[in-house]
Structure 1
Amino acid sequence: MTAWVRDLAGVDRAAHAGTLDPKVTGCLPVLLGDATRLAQVFLEGAKEYIAVLELHRSAPADTRAILDSFEAELYQKPPRKSAVRRRLRTRRVYDLELLDERDRQLLLRIRCESGTYVRKLCHDLGLALGTGGHMGNLRRSGTDPFDDRELVSLHDLADALAFDEEGNSEPLAAAVAPAERALRHLPRVTIPENAAREVAEGAPVYAPGVLAVDPAPDPVTVGEAGDETDDGEGAATPSEGDLVVCLTPDGTAVCLGTLVADPGASSGEVVSLERVLV
């Protein structure tokens, strides 16, 4: 998929934000050109899936309570066919919602940490329910900060590129988002232009160079035009260890970094550089 998009767009570099297994549909952000530098962002973000859990026997009466118990940090070992080493690891399930139940099928909405194996989760749910079970259909409905309301098909992209060649750039502008859109869910540190020039050369961000710190919008919702809105509730002030994006006052993304100290301090390093974006 990524190679097709790269060739359609006629660019040298492309990257994706998380593999979709065969027969799995849904949200697959593709990064083009310099935007490939943002791939790290998607390792930090959550993913959301709509899954069908096929039970081997009828569901018990306490199904919802058992599902709720899986909203936790879980131990998982990658499946045998996985491309990564099969080592026991932990992954967090943030939300596990039963959307519908029919016969021996449960329709689930799963919001989880990146790298969670939903197939393994479905197997473990079947064991906990006492029925046995396996994953049926699976759709990735979101990869922070994008969701499946923003999907663009390859046909639409090809059409947009054709229109662009004829002088109509509007469809392409609608199909391909600016790189900054991939950063909209991160806490923001605003720095002046002179500090941005130093960061572009590899310097960290020091406290005197911090103009403002804004929390990540929570929740992020996407309007019809793809603009984020924030109701102002639940937004948490970034803390040490959080991934942040540093911006100039005009909104240009300068770097990704890790917050290492109180940005309100009078001196010292506050953002350790992870990736220069300019």
Structure 2
Amino acid sequence: MPTGLLLVDKPAGLTSHDVVSRARRALGTRKVGHAGTLDPLATGLLTLGVGSATRLLTYLVGLDKTYETTIVLGRATTTDDAEGEVLGEPAPAAALDAITDDQLAAAIATLTGPIEQVPSAVSAIKVDGRRAYDRVRAGEHVELKARAVTIAAFDVLAVRRLPGSADEPPTIEADARIDCSSGTYIRALARDLGTALGVGGHLRALRRTRVGPFDVPDAVSLEQLADIGPAGLASSAAVAERLFPVLRATDDQARDLGHGKKLALPELDDVEPLAAIDGAGRLVALVSVRNGVGRTLVGFPIDAE
């Protein structure tokens, strides 16, 4: 069975599950999963685990991320992005003209650093066992609780003041690059920026360019995915080495971990997880070390890598 991490540059118009389905066909295995969903509107880096490497996905989900986005100020929508219906009347030209570059920067500053963010109602968060977006589509009113997230950087790359036309109201478009913690909703940032400026806002475009140490230039396109083989996967050990401290396990240690036995590791400080890699360069297990004793958190069976 093929195993490892596959980085895919997802195009717009497909769900994350669509990409997983194509990877399953290309690799000839059902055992493929993803870490961190991208909406159909979004493009960019999708991390897929194949074979036993799916056991690493739990640790990939929590990595920080970088996005490039275009935010439209002047209109709020039901979904906080361009696919939703416009809420209320568009902001008048005078209200947009009154927004200075300094005011835009000040509003962005309030959305930078540790913040409390209310996720978009049209999200995959479960409310009483059902996805929030399913409840919204069924006509229910959904209120989600605020959650703590961190916006490490919210950098404006360009601002365009669009005068509008007979068919389109005036808007302000801001291109931005955002570094954020896992669990951040960029659509909600666009909504909250528009609210802070009193004109409404939504997301027009979104591209994920980084997940932890993994970057979109290293990803394969959808066209390349059709021809991908096991050689196109990053090994579980290579991935673990980029994410965790490493224990170079002896043959005896590797065997004991494979059997679920504890290891005496008195020379190590407490750490979790620790990647145990054997002499052949194979990831044997992720280990928790407490008080000099190592215990297996996740074992990795021998797949063909």
- TM-score, normalising length from structure 1? 0.73
**Paired residue type of 2:150:** R
Question: 1:94 — aligned with what?
Answer: 152
Deviations 1:92-142 (A, max 9, x none): 222222222222111111111122111112111222344431111011111
* Shift of residue 252, structure 1, vs aligned partner: 2.7
Equivalent positions of 1:248-263 (< 5 A) are 248=278, 251-258=281-288, 260=290
* Shift of residue 153, structure 1, vs aligned partner: 1.6
* Shift of residue 241, structure 1, vs aligned partner: 6.4
* Shift of residue 36, structure 1, vs aligned partner: 1.0
* Shift of residue 35, structure 1, vs aligned partner: 1.3
Question: 1:84 — aligned with what?
Answer: 125
- The answer to whether residue 244 in structure 2 is matched with residue 187 in structure 1 is yes
CA distance in 2, matches of 1:209, 1:16: 36
Unaligned residue ranges in structure 1 (runs of 5+): 162-171, 211-238, 262-267
SS of the aligned residue for 2:46 comes to coil
Question: 1:128 — aligned with what?
Answer: 196
- The answer to whether residue 66 in structure 2 is matched with residue 48 in structure 1 is yes
Question: 1:66 — aligned with what?
Answer: 107
Query: Structure 1 residues 184 and 66 mapped into 2: Cα distance closer, same or farther (>3 Å)?
Result: farther
1:119 pairs with one of 187, 192, 197:
187
Question: 1:236 — aligned with what?
Answer: none
SS of the aligned residue for 1:4 comes to helix
SS of the aligned residue for 1:38 comes to helix
- Greater shift, 91-100 or 196-205, is seen at 196-205
Question: 2:214 — aligned with what?
Answer: 146
Instruction: Give me the identity figure in percent.
Output: 30
CA contact (8 A) 1:74 1:92 kept: yes
- Greater shift, 39-48 or 128-137, is seen at 128-137
Question: 2:32 — aligned with what?
Answer: 14
Query: Structure 1 residues 79 and 3 mapped into 2: Cα distance closer, same or farther (>3 Å)?
Result: same
Unaligned residue ranges in structure 2 (runs of 5+): 1-18, 75-95, 127-143, 162-171
Equivalent positions of 1:31-46 (< 5 A) are 31-46=49-64
CA distance in 2, matches of 1:195, 1:247: 10
Query: Structure 1 residues 77 and 259 mapped into 2: Cα distance closer, same or farther (>3 Å)?
Result: farther
* Shift of residue 49, structure 1, vs aligned partner: 0.8
* Shift of residue 205, structure 1, vs aligned partner: 4.5
Deviations 1:149-198 (A, max 9, x none): 0121232132345xxxxxxxxxx63x332223432432313133322222
Higher Rg? 2
* Shift of residue 148, structure 1, vs aligned partner: 0.9
Query: Structure 1 residues 177 and 87 mapped into 2: Cα distance closer, same or farther (>3 Å)?
Result: same
CA distance in 1, matches of 2:114, 2:272: 19
1:196 pairs with one of 246, 254, 258:
254
- TM-score, normalising length from structure 2? 0.67
Query: Structure 1 residues 43 and 157 mapped into 2: Cα distance closer, same or farther (>3 Å)?
Result: closer
Higher relative contact order (CA 8 A, sep 6+): 2
- Greater shift, 115-124 or 196-205, is seen at 196-205
**Paired residue type of 2:216:** D
Query: Structure 1 residues 182 and 64 mapped into 2: Cα distance closer, same or farther (>3 Å)?
Result: farther
Deviations 1:75-95 (A, max 9, x none): 233332323234432222222
CA distance in 2, matches of 1:183, 1:106: 37
**Paired residue type of 1:256:** L
SS of the aligned residue for 1:96 comes to strand
CA contact (8 A) 1:186 1:244 kept: no
Query: Structure 1 residues 258 and 52 mapped into 2: Cα distance closer, same or farther (>3 Å)?
Result: farther
* Shift of residue 8, structure 1, vs aligned partner: 1.7
CA contact (8 A) 2:27 2:228 kept: no
